[in-house]
Amino acid sequence: MENCQLEDSVTFSYRATHEIPADSSTIARTEGEVMTVEECLYGMMVSSANEVAQALGEHISGSLESFAALMTLRAYELGAVNSHFSNAHGYYNPEHYTCAYDLALIMREAMKYDVLKTIMGTERWEIPPTNKHSETTYLRMKHPLLSNAEEMKYPYAVAGKTGYTPEAGNTLVTYAKQGDLDLICVVMRDPSSKATGEDSVALFNYGFQNFQCLSLSSAESIQQNKEDDFLDDDLLRLTSSSDSWCTLPAGMSLSDLRSEVILMGGTEEDSALAARIYYLGDQEVGRIRLSAMPVEERIHLEPVVRVEPSRKEILRRVYLGLPLIYWILIGGGVVVLVILLLIVLFIRRLFRQRKRRQEQARRALNRIAE
């Protein structure tokens, strides 16, 4: 689901079709056969076809060893740290192991894909003729809670997968849903397929009867009316932008929980400024992300009417320590002084020119008299 498209073509190699245990569950694919990824998923999940698991592994990673390493890495990223995979089909290998908790984590991630929910909940399916098979291949699921294989079909079962090896015994992973409560059940090392079904039904009935799933949004709306220790300013309020859920024992309510807010920073990748964590005793049972409510939603602002200032108000405005009127007077005085200075200079120039002409006329008269 994470590495290819459903319509991609998968070609079965010699290794995919021949390097499987003799007692393997198969749908008789042969070397060179071509199927789509979707058809392979139905063959692998409905009929437990081991050659199909190998073909998909080679299609994604190029080799079975690389695909096993990818499985281990992806499981570790999900928190399944007690698992190590050495092959794609699950047959015994000393270095191939997992646990119930890890299988539940992997199943939870798988159930995020509606396509996988459908495929892993399909009781019967048909693969159309291929380049190597001229006839339709009919598939039938043997999951005891999703089919009538053991006559114990469970009404709330949605999807699941069977498993068996002589060393591991019978294994069953099932996802079931009743109302708002989703449960995943993992049963390992049971003596028979029927026993896995009986144990799973008993566990599911216990879970559905004794637990409930509640939305934290309703609790968050109540919390918004209370003051948090670090939110002293009434202008700052945090609100949930998405819903979150918690699982509680039947009969309890959200009011039985205590909560605290932790700051998260609000980065570009994660816009949440904080998170409210809900506890039942000392056990965290859920958390909801919080973002800052926009200020305009918290404060009612009257429309602003722009009023032009009067002439007196303009003249009284202070610039560089003095009212504007003073600067105007100072400026006016400077202008007047400059004008007076220019007038004085002009008059002095006129007197000098007049005196020069008189001197020149006197010199001329003296030359004539001589």
Band of residue 219 on the pLDDT scale cut at 50, 70, 90: low
Choose among 57, 41, 131, 134: nearest CA to 89.
Answer: 57
Residues 130 and 28 in one domain: yes
Task: Look at residue 289 and tell me if it is in a domain.
Answer: yes
From 134, 160, 195, give the residue that closes a domain.
134
Give the mean pLDDT of 25-43: 97
Q: What is the 3-state secondary structure (H, E, C) of the chain?
A: CCCCCCCCEEECCHHHHHCCCCCCCCCCCCCCCEEEHHHHHHHHHHHCCHHHHHHHHHHHHCCHHHHHHHHHHHHHHCCCCCCECCCCCCCCCCCCECCHHHHHHHHHHHCCCHHHHHHCCCCEEEECCCCCCCCCEEEECCCCCCCCCCCCCCCCEEEEEEEEECCCEEEEEEEEEECCEEEEEEEEEECCHHHHHHHHHHHHHHHHHHEEEEEHHHHHHHHCCCCCCCCCCCCCCEEECCCCEEEEECCCCHHHCEEEEEECCCCCCCCCCEEEEEEECCEEEEEEEEEECCHHHHCCCCCCCCCCCCHHHHHHCEECCEEHHHHHHHHHHHHHHHHHHHHHHHHHHHHHHHHHHHHHHHHHHHHHHC
Q: What is the pLDDT of residue 350?
A: 86
Q: What is the pLDDT of residue 38?
A: 98
- pTM higher than 0.75, yes or no? no
Q: What is the pLDDT of residues 14-28, one digit of tens each?
A: 999 999 988 889 999
Give the mean pLDDT of 341-362: 85
Task: Look at residue 351 and tell me if it is in a domain.
Answer: no
Q: What is the pLDDT of residues 57-113, one digit of tens each?
A: 999 999 999 999 999 999 999 999 999 999 999 999 999 999 999 999 999 999 999
pLDDT at 275 over 60: yes
Mean pLDDT of the chain: 87
pLDDT at 120 over 70: yes
From 108, 134, 160, give the residue that closes a domain.
134
Task: Look at residue 286 and tell me if it is in a domain.
Answer: yes
Q: What is the pLDDT of residue 298?
A: 52
Give the total number of structural domains in the chain. Answer: 2
Contact of 110 with 44, CB cutoff 8 Å: no
Q: What is the pLDDT of residue 227?
A: 46
pLDDT at 306 over 70: no
Q: What is the pLDDT of residue 267?
A: 58
Q: Which domain CATH number covers 70?
A: 3.40.710.10
Band of residue 232 on the pLDDT scale cut at 50, 70, 90: very low
Band of residue 367 on the pLDDT scale cut at 50, 70, 90: confident
Is residue 168 packed enough to be buried (19+ CB in 10 Å), middle (13-18) or exposed (0-12)? middle
Residue 61: which domain range?
A: 1-99+125-134
- Please tell me the number of Cα atoms within 13 Å of 253 on its side-chain side: 4
Q: Angle at which helices 37-47 and 50-61 pack, to 10 degrees?
A: 140
Q: What is the pLDDT of residue 294?
A: 56
Give the mean pLDDT of 245-268: 83
Q: b/e for 59-80, b at 16 or more Cβ within 10 A? A: bbbeebeebbebbbeebeeeeb
Higher-confidence position of 224 and 108: 108
Residues 238 and 130 in one domain: no
From 76, 110, 134, give the residue that closes a domain.
134
Paired residues of 276 in beta bridges: 261, 288
Task: Look at residue 160 and tell me if it is in a domain.
Answer: no
Distance CA 2, CA 154 (A): 30
**Out of 13-17, 141-145, 217-221, 351-355, least confident range:** 217-221
Task: Look at residue 65 and tell me if it is in a domain.
Answer: yes
Distance CA 201, CA 44 (A): 24
Contact of 200 with 171, CB cutoff 8 Å: no
Q: What is the pLDDT of residue 255?
A: 87
Q: What is the pLDDT of residue 240?
A: 64
Q: What is the pLDDT of residue 263?
A: 80
Higher-confidence position of 160 and 23: 160
Band of residue 239 on the pLDDT scale cut at 50, 70, 90: low
Band of residue 302 on the pLDDT scale cut at 50, 70, 90: low
Highest mean pLDDT among 105-109, 148-152, 318-322, 357-361: 105-109
Residues 94 and 222 in one domain: no
Task: Look at residue 303 and tell me if it is in a domain.
Answer: no
Q: What is the pLDDT of residue 141?
A: 96
Residues 36 and 130 in one domain: yes
pLDDT at 123 over 50: yes
Residues 130 and 1 in one domain: yes
Q: What is the pLDDT of residue 225?
A: 45
Contact of 185 with 200, CB cutoff 8 Å: yes
Task: Look at residue 113 and tell me if it is in a domain.
Answer: no
Choose among 47, 62, 70: nearest CA to 15.
Answer: 62
Task: Look at residue 260 and tell me if it is in a domain.
Answer: yes
User: Token match 């003095």: residue?
Assistant: 322
